[in-house]
Amino acid sequence: MSNLPPPPPPPPPGGGRGQRRPAKSDRSSPKNKNESDHQNSDGSGSEPRTGFPRWGWWIIAAVALGALLVPSLWPSNDGTDLTYTEFIADVEAGNIATADINTGSGKITGERTNEERYNTSGGGERGVSEADEQLLKDANVDYEFTPPSNNFLLNLLGFMLPIFLIIGFLVWMQRRASGQMGGVMSIGKSKAKAYTTDKPSTTFDDIAGYEGVKQEISEVVDFLRYPERFKEIGARVPKGMLLVGPPGTGKTLFARAVAGEAGVGFLSVTGSDFMEMFVGVGASRVRDLFQQARRMGRAIIFIDEIDSIGRKRGAGLGGGHDEREQTLNQMLAEMDGFETSEGIVIMAATNRPDILDPALLRPGRFDRQIVVPVPEANERKAILEVHSRDKRIGADVDMDTMAKATVGMAGADLANLVNEAALVAVRRGSKEIERIDFENARDRVVLGAQRESVIMSAEEKKATAYHEGGHALLATVLPNGDPLHKVTILPRGMALGVTWSLPQERHTYSKEYFEDTICKAMGGRVAEKVVFGHLNSGAANDLEQATGIARRMVREWGMSDRVGPQAWSSQQATFLGDDLMSSGREYSDDTAKLLDEEISKLLNHQEQRAHDVLTRHRRGLELIAESLLEHETIDGPTVARLIQQGMIESGESAPSLDDIIVH
C-alpha cells in the first residue's frame, strides 16, 4: 500500500553547461528556388491554381436560377387594376373592348373602349362564369381564352435534370477512382512534414535548463547556417545525432526548437510513417525522404521514435520483420550515400537505445548520442516557471520548494502538474493558483485521485491505519531511506492508504538504502502481524516491490556476499536480438538455487528487522494509528513527534529526533 517504487538505475550524465547561441535575429534565412518549390508541392506553402475557377460555377448557377425565378416574381404594371365586380360593371356599361382570359391563372387582361389597358384577377378557374361569358357576347366584347404561357428554361431544366444527375454521379465516381489510384501510386512517397523558419514558434529560449544538450544541438544548427566557420579549420559535423532519454524529457521539443532556430529546411517524420502493409513501401519512403532533403539544399531530417524501424535485425520469433529490415537497410544505405558537405543532418529520438541495431549507431551514421535526462532541481524550477508564466500564481507559491518536492519528474510531468494545480484552483473557486493547489495537484499526480466512493468498515479502517502506520514509523526511524512526507488512510488510486516518502536527489544508491527500502516495505505486513496476529492481502504490492528490489540486488548489482561480483539480467526479451534457442538461463541449477536462497534470506532478514523495530516502538505505532483514525492524514513531523511521545510513555528518557533513528 505504500509508494515504494523500485529505485531506478543511475541515470546517465547529461553533459555540462555551454555558451548561448547567437540571437535568432542575427541569423539569415536563405531560401533557394528548390526549397520554395518543394514547400509549394508538399502543401506547406501556397500553390497556384489553374483551370476554370471554382467561383465561376457559382456565378453560372446564380444566373440560371435568376432566369427561372425573376420573370415569375417581376411585378406587372401595364394597366389599371380592376376588381371582377368592376369588370362586369364596365362590360354592362359597354366600356370593355377586348378581353384575354388566361385559363391557367384565371386572370383577365385587355383594353377598354378608350384604348386604356386593364387587369383583373378573374372570377373563377375559367376566369369567367358561363353567365358572364354570355354577358360578354351580348356586349360584343372581343374575348378569347388563352392557355398559360410555358417557361422554356423551366421546361428545359425538367428535361435536363435527370441527365445532369447521371453525369454528376459518373464524374464523382471517376474522381473517386482517380483519387484511389493516386493514393496507390503515391504510397511510396515520404510523409515527412516540411517546416519553414517562420512556422515553428518554439525556440531554445522556450526550453528551460539542459544547457549541455542545447550546446550540442546548436553546433549542428550553426554548421548548417555558417558552414565556412567549420571548414576553415577542417571540422566535420556529425551526420546523425540521436536524442536518448526517458519519456517526457523533451526530445521532440528539442527537435521543434531546432526547426524554430534553424534557417534551413526541416523535415519531420515518425518511425511509424515508414511502415505499410505493402512490402518495399518503407524503403521507398526512405529514398523519397532523402531526395526531398537534397532538393531543399541544406536541411535537417528529424525521425521521431526511430526504434520502431531501427530495431536489431534478425530479432524475435522466427526472424525479423522483412519490411522493417528492408526499411532499415535502405536508411543505412542512404546515410552512407551523402557527405556532410551536402548540408544534410539527421536527428532522431528514442527512449529505447538498447534495442537499436548496432549498424545504426556506428560512427559515420549516428555519430553522437545526446542524453536528455530527467531534470535536476534547478532545471525543474526553471521548467515550472516556464509553464507558470501564463498563469496567475499566488504569492505563497515557492518554486524552489516545489522543485525539491518533484524529484524524478520529467518535463511533461511538471507541465501536467502545473495544469492540474490550475484545475484544482478553479474547482476550489480561487482566482489564482496557491500553494495548497500545487500540493493537492502533486498528491493527485503521484498518489492518484482520492476515491470518496470507497466505504471501509471499522475493522478495515483500523487495519489500514496500523498498516500505514508501520510504513510511516519505519520510514522515520530508519537512517538510510527517503524521509517521510505524509501518510494517509484515505483511499487513493488503487490503494486503501498511502505512505509517501520524498525521494532525495540521488544518482547512485547504496546497499544500505535498498535494505532500508525493503524493510520499510515490510512494515505494513509486520505491523498487522504484531497487532492483530494475522495477515491479509493488503501487502501484495509491498511484497512485489520488495521482492523486485531484492532480486536485482542479488542478480544484477552484486550486493550478496555469497553470490559475489556477478550479474545476470532478470529477463532476456527475444526482440532484443537474442536467439530464441539460446536465450535461456546463463547459469547452472546450483547457481539458480543460490540466487533464490540469497533473495529469500535478504527478504526474511529485513522482515525480522522490521518486526524488531516495530516491537520496540509498539506504543509509537499505536499513537500513529490512533492519529490516523482521527485525522486520516498526518505529515512526517507529526509522525516523529508521536514516536517520541511513545518512547516517553514507554519509560525511556525524552529522546531527540536523532535519538529515535535506529542506527
Strand-strand pairing, 498-501 and 484-488:
antiparallel
Grid coordinates belonging to 241:
545525432
Phi, psi of 587 (to 5 degrees): -140, 165
Determine the straight-line distance between the first and last CA of the chain, rounded to whole angstroms: 26
Contact 553, 514 (CB under 8 A): yes
Please give the positions annotated as active site.
468
Per-residue CA distances from 564 to 21, 488, 512 (Å): 50, 40, 17
CA distance 370 to 567: 27
Per-residue CA distances from 660 to 118, 308, 637, 638, 642 (Å): 118, 53, 13, 14, 11
Closest CA to 558 of 514, 516, 501, 522: 514
Mapping DSSP to helix (H, G, I), strand (E, B) and coil, where does residue 74 land? coil
CA distance 334 to 348: 15
Mapping DSSP to helix (H, G, I), strand (E, B) and coil, where does residue 451 land? coil
Write the CB contacts of 218 (distance below 8 Å, at least 6 apart in sequence): 18, 21, 204, 261
CA distance 398 to 301: 40
Contact 189, 288 (CB under 8 A): yes
Residues written for the chain: 663
Measured on CA atoms in the order 338, 339, 343, 345, is the torsion positive or negative? positive
Contact 663, 521 (CB under 8 A): no
Closest CA to 562 of 599, 512, 609, 608: 599
Q: DSSP label at 393? A: B
Using a CB cutoff of 8 Å and minimum separation of 24, what contacts does 358-366 make?
A: 358/312, 359/332, 360/306, 360/310, 360/328, 360/331, 360/332, 361/242, 364/239, 364/335, 364/336, 365/239, 365/240, 365/332, 365/335, 365/336, 366/238, 366/239, 366/240, 366/241, 366/242
* Cα 525 → chain centroid: 39
CA distance 150 to 154: 8
Contact 497, 536 (CB under 8 A): no
Grid coordinates belonging to 233:
579549420
